[in-house]
Amino acid sequence: MKLKKVLVVHKKSTYQIQAEEHKESRFLKLIAEGNEVVNRVRLAHEEHVDTLARVEDELSSRGIAYQSLSRSQVAETVEDVDLLIAVGGDGTFLDASHALKDVPALGVNSSRSSSFGHFCMANRENFSSILDQIETEMISPLSILRLGITINGQPIKELVLNEVLVAHSSPAATSRYLIEVGEHKEEQRSSGIWVSTPAGSTGSLRSAGGNIMSLPERKFQYMVREACMRPGQSWQLLDGTLDENQSMRIVSEMRTGEVYIDGPHIIHTLTLGDELLIRPSAHNLRAFIHSSVNDVFLKAKH
């Protein structure tokens, strides 16, 4: 795979935003006091800046044309490049993935002191080696299942790489909805519903008690959070795994419900009677990720 043109998408660090751009007074005061938390934020910033510079220098040395953008500057759909390189952590990778249909992605963990980098095959030290393997086709992009969502029949443009949370807009309020999976339908009250891909099964779904899936699996999973069942009630649709030919339907009984896609930044509102349909998308994400990346969480359970 000859790389001729690359898009580099990078995050803005907390230090950059608060100290350098906004010059936030409390943040600057904590810096002056040598606060432990802020010192860690500054270290993460320095690591990130160094990693981004190394990525750009490596591309330049290879004669690869590139454009470097912060993730807020990325177009709705990225086309006409050979590779998207996300420099940051998993949040940067997730944000960048929403702009991709056919272009493959590579994640670079820019600050290993502060970021787990689950989706990041590369880092500051091995980036050059990973590029060699991509260009010589020693490694190939993995095809990763994503979910598509429609609200009242209208497709949502963002494809879900990790997870969907359907819940009330207030975390203290009860989420009310009808849930339908296959031939079963129930009216439920809970703290919301997680719906996860295999890629997202090591995140919030795992923390809520869900099952960890292998990254290449062609299934998705749902789990109801903190079901509010009255005495004598019994619900069938508290959790389950669906294959890539299935879908699930949720009808809002909330006046101010919300759908969160891959974290807190992408939110779509739900009101009374709004119908949400979730099913696997025909557009998988092509990404350079180790297929065994989820295995570390499986081992941790034993």
Give the active site residues: 90
- SS3 category, 208: coil
Please name the helix (run of DSSP H) or strand (run of DSSP E) that holds residue 300, with its range, or none.
Answer: helix 295-300
Q: At what angle do helices 127-135 and 36-61 cross, to 10 degrees?
A: 40
Cα(240)–Cα(242) distance, rounded to whole angstroms? 7
- SS3 category, 7: strand
Cα(271)–Cα(126) distance, rounded to whole angstroms? 48
Residue 98: other Cβ atoms inside 10 A? 22
State how far Cα 146 lies from the chain centre. Answer: 10
Cα(224)–Cα(202) distance, rounded to whole angstroms? 16
State how far Cα 292 lies from the chain centre. Answer: 18
User: Structure tokens of 255?
Assistant: 């006046």
Do the Cβ atoms of 92 and 105 come closer than 8 Å? no
Which residue type does 87 have?
Answer: V
